Structure 1
């Protein structure tokens, strides 16, 4: 999500705020992990009840109607990890953030219907191994339910973002199947945080392959077909060419809308250079997305405007704010 040096060192602190778990088998589908009790709490004190998500959209449809994403919709996303403002604006006050996102998404319409997206970091890379030595933490199921409830309240899509650390990506994705079977929930993958068995996130760039991305898309396609779902969004983030190798092995899969989000960081000229390199040879059927960083980008000048982003070619059909 961000440049590697110095960022993962912050994750340990952020994970404590977000009440992530790294125990083997923790937060298995269907088993809600309660938040940690505060110091001095009575043993009989019950944690707050998990909000029940509003009903899913009309059966077989997306939150704002229909079964297909493009070319009808323009996607605009906020990223966030609960309680961790350093990782994006979607950290708290979800109703207020949703109102801001709704307004922002209208600035990107340009002939399309705006479809706001909440991208929730559900698995976050860590600088420490944890009990299972996978260098990643998972937020509680109850938090995912809370964000899904907020997304449905505002007719937004929810993307579950995975930074797997040393864990294998496909098992981490399948662990989220309870939510991925829903018509308004998609997936995002941060391969720069997918490291090898002897590597530590933040010390090296992680990476993935087109074959691995294809296996994820194939799995999602199976869910779409089995459960008769509308198209499902699958985003993979990429900040440099070396993050993904053999990208042409990524194929089209029925019911899956695959988007490469170009995550260039820094001055506008640098972001445009990264954009040009990473969108030059998109695999057939892969759509282009573009990420803006509120903190890192503005150290080098003003944040790019919607008009400037929409002037890019190919058109970024997903714009992400972190």
Structure 2
């Protein structure tokens, strides 16, 4: 190839490269001369030339938001959740069929609770620590959910712009330690937590033979741990659900605390007739109007399943509705 032809091709290649860099980098960083011209025009003669880029790079990232926008779950939204696990359909409606199928069914159910002034935020409440009838190798009567299962439900929840709530049935294990074991997921902006004291066993107690309980000190330790994650990772508010269906299931209930970044909801659990469920809800919410309240509905066990309209007529109106 003639020298003139090679020179022309090199110059053409340089021009193409220059155009590509100017397109990708916004026209500033390919050539020192061009950087200087842009800097003088935009920055009053600052020869550094990349002040705007440095300022952009140093600007803090926008804080993460909830699946449907915003950074506060309650009281802005009403949460409607499906509860369960894939190991057995008897564990709850979330485990019936695939996560995608459960998500579609949840979406339809949740729409019935949406109101103009209070939108619905759907949630998957996945049992992440499942109580067992046998003690197992470590003697705690509980089995953690496989990480791949949690990840699968998190992906499905995200496709529906829903929360994932990880539910702990600890057996003889500690609520606090089981919560810490879930930190990988709790650092995500759309993952919250639930405690199931019915399955929290003391020494010598066996799941299915005893009804468990917890106390305010334990719940407060868990909520403080969640609050620290929210603060450190600049996350949106997290929901902490505590299930209960007996008066003594949360000892020293009056000492429960709601730290910054955490919405604490006590969910009135237990199946029965409509009259029984309404009476239980009134009993457990009376005098606690400043607290977040939840209500659980059992698709199979309840006698005369309450409709969304009937559920919303409860007073105080539930902040959280869970279907099992």
Per the normalisation by structure 2, the TM-score is 0.78
**Cα drift, residue 158 of structure 1:** 0.1
Equivalence for 1:51: none
Alignment pair present for 1:104 and 2:123 = no
**Alpha carbons of 1:173 and 1:138: their partners in 2 closer, same or farther (altered >3 Å)?**
same
Highest CA radius of gyration, 1 or 2? 2
- Picking from 155, 170, 176, the partner of 1:170 is 176
Equivalence for 2:321: 319
CA distance in 1, matches of 2:198, 2:316: 23
What are structure 1's unaligned runs of at least 5 residues? 1-57
Runs of 4+ with deviation above 2 angstroms = none
Equivalence for 1:78: 82
SS of 1:116's equivalent? strand
**Cα drift, residue 114 of structure 1:** 1.3
- Picking from 126, 139, 142, the partner of 1:120 is 126
- Check the 8 A contact 2:82/2:93 in 1, yes or no: yes
- Picking from 284, 290, 294, the partner of 1:289 is 294
SS of 1:124's equivalent? strand
C-alpha deviations, 1:91-136, integer Å up to 9, x for none?
A: 1312121111111111011331111100000101111100000011
- Larger RCO: 1 or 2 (CA < 8 Å, sep 6+): 1
CA distance in 2, matches of 1:140, 1:59: 29
- Picking from 161, 174, 177, the partner of 1:155 is 161
Q: Identify the range of structure 1 (192-201 vs 67-76) with the bigger mean alpha-carbon deviation.
A: 67-76
- Picking from 191, 196, 199, the partner of 2:197 is 191
What are structure 2's unaligned runs of at least 5 residues? 1-61
C-alpha deviations, 1:23-81, integer Å up to 9, x for none?
A: xxxxxxxxxxxxxxxxxxxxxxxxxxxxxxxxxxx842000000011232111000111
Per the normalisation by structure 1, the TM-score is 0.79
SS of 1:90's equivalent? helix
Q: What are the equivalent positions in structure 2 for 1:30-49 lying under 5 Å apart?
A: none
Equivalence for 1:95: 100
Equivalence for 1:238: 244
RMSD, matched Cα: 1.3
Q: What are the equivalent positions in structure 2 for 1:251-266 lying under 5 Å apart?
A: 251-266=257-272
Q: What are the equivalent positions in structure 2 for 1:46-65 lying under 5 Å apart?
A: 59-65=63-69
**Cα drift, residue 285 of structure 1:** 5.0
CA distance in 1, matches of 2:148, 2:275: 41
- Check the 8 A contact 2:63/2:234 in 1, yes or no: no
Question: Number of residue pairs matched?
Answer: 261
